[in-house]
Structure 1
């Protein structure tokens, strides 16, 4: 059954309240408290919804995370069966240090339609080019940039690439600089980084590099509503990672996943700002109300809708 649009406001409420709960700890140098506050709020709100929800991407395993763990059942057990992916606080360091870009994020799909991503790294690439064979994880950086340059009718030096500022990306960064590509570095928050390709106003043409697998799936859930592309490939470096992947049903550990293999069917994605960033404004406190802004995407029976919603919540 398609996901009823009535759930949009309900899920916006979930991320908005989680963002507000976390906002109390912005700038207090306590990322654990900021994250816990968002987790507690999100779990409480989800349990009040008339859904049969299951966390497929959460805070970790049951023994690592007592709330919003992978496999946790949520909701009143009345209503549709839904897969739920959450990142109650994307950018814990941003919140702790009052830096731009902290978000509260959730993605929902019909049961068995959202990829169950293990807690491991993922190679990722997202661009404005939806057509196949323009960019690909198997291509070199140079080939991807030249192909994208031709596709967008831009010179390589007029392209901007977004990448996490990490030592593991030094080789990619050096190649981008050799090609004279502009680079937008991000220190955390690669869900939002991957989404910067969705609109010309962000001036980002390609996002690439290695980041969290769960964050890759969350980004894909939003990108599915835009005319953009995404590819991801998990990196299993330890025997424990490989065993966990096999237990989750992943047989080919080197498989490259396209967007339509990560998320299928109807979906809802919500990202509410905690601190103001490129995508959305952060939580504001005006008189007796908190004001939050949420980026919402809704794919419903093939129709796609992207909106931004402002919500006022009385303290």
Structure 2
């Protein structure tokens, strides 16, 4: 007569940054066969299952603190979900197994598997927030309350160019229409996009990026994910939570979250962060970083993970 024992995932003894990068890659690879089939949930489901399995044996005490699926009612790694063997460093991750599921479902460029990692407690915990207003740029010190024309002028002067050379990306939603119109009225070149918030923020944060500013209300999970990469790239970012419904506002109020407070990178994420991305469909992260499906890119360091 045989006895059954609880299954324990095998310990993955590779360096932790490689394990997390591989989990991101495997999520993307699992989603690729579903590209163009029109089924967003199938794309998300395949990526989530692959990432969860890859994380199970990581030599870490891991916790998911920011995820994307709850907002979209899609398959997800759950907020508060634990992963790893329980040994090794205590880490938190902000994760979206596929950022841009609609893009992947339609076989459009810009979908990627993304993960940011930091020591325990280093990320801003956004709780039930779904939406966030943000400014991302490589020009520091912008005023989130300033008129758009003033912001465009400041960026132009910092770059030594005219307003016509300033490039602004705004997610094409009714909530952001006034910002997009104001940027165009100020003379800037405006890139309106439907999906792909993270991709544009990386392009704006890079020192040699081909965007100067990403502005407007987008997903709050993407905002925290983006912050880790922006910080590692030496960019600048400010944000505040921006509920888009009475129900979301009520949840945030019940959780004691101040939606009027503007936070910078120091509060969004700690200085010791790493960011991993793998393309599901072709992705453009700026000059010299154009990824085909299955190709990966990372920024930041996990040297702190070995300091036990």
TM-score by length of 1: 0.84
Counterpart for residue 87 of structure 2: 78
Per-residue deviation, 1:185: 2.0
Counterpart for residue 234 of structure 1: 241
Q: Distance in 1 between matches of 2:185 and 2:245?
A: 33
Deviations 1:177-228 (A, max 9, x none): 2112111222101011111113465421111111001101100110011121
Counterpart for residue 4 of structure 2: none
Which deviates the most, 192-201 or 85-94?
Answer: 192-201
1:125 partnered with 2:135: yes
Q: Secondary structure at the match of 1:275?
A: coil
Maintained 8 Å contact 1:268/1:298: yes
Q: Distance in 1 between matches of 2:262 and 2:185?
A: 27
Q: Distance in 1 between matches of 2:297 and 2:166?
A: 25
Q: Structure 1: which 5+ residue stretches go unaligned?
A: 284-291, 303-315
Per-residue deviation, 1:114: 0.9
Maintained 8 Å contact 1:107/1:221: yes
Match for 2:158 among 151, 163, 176?
Answer: 151
Q: Secondary structure at the match of 1:85?
A: strand
1:293 partnered with 2:300: no
TM superposition outliers: structure 1 runs of 4+ over 6 Å: none
1:50–1:247 CA distance, 2 compared to 1 (3 A): farther
Counterpart for residue 18 of structure 1: 27
Maintained 8 Å contact 2:123/2:270: yes
Per-residue deviation, 1:50: 1.1
Maintained 8 Å contact 1:272/1:294: yes
Counterpart for residue 287 of structure 1: none
Which deviates the most, 87-96 or 112-121?
Answer: 112-121
Maintained 8 Å contact 2:68/2:221: no
Q: Secondary structure at the match of 1:139?
A: coil
Q: Secondary structure at the match of 1:270?
A: strand
Per-residue deviation, 1:240: 4.0
Per-residue deviation, 1:79: 1.0
Which structure dedicates a bigger proportion of its chain to strand?
A: 1
Q: Distance in 2 between matches of 1:195 and 1:66?
A: 25
Q: Secondary structure at the match of 2:291?
A: coil
Q: Secondary structure at the match of 2:34?
A: coil
Per-residue deviation, 1:127: 0.7
Q: Structure 2: which 5+ residue stretches go unaligned?
A: 1-13
1:40 partnered with 2:35: no
Maintained 8 Å contact 1:164/1:190: yes
- Tell me the C-alpha RMSD between the 2 structures: 2.3
Maintained 8 Å contact 2:138/2:234: yes
Per-residue deviation, 1:39: 0.7
Q: Secondary structure at the match of 2:143?
A: coil
Q: Distance in 2 between matches of 1:44 and 1:202?
A: 35
Match for 1:186 among 190, 193, 198?
Answer: 193
Q: Secondary structure at the match of 2:284?
A: coil
Counterpart for residue 252 of structure 2: 245
1:239–1:164 CA distance, 2 compared to 1 (3 A): closer
Per-residue deviation, 1:237: 4.6
Per-residue deviation, 1:244: 3.5
Counterpart for residue 272 of structure 1: 278
Q: Distance in 1 between matches of 2:168 and 2:102?
A: 23
Aligned residues: 286
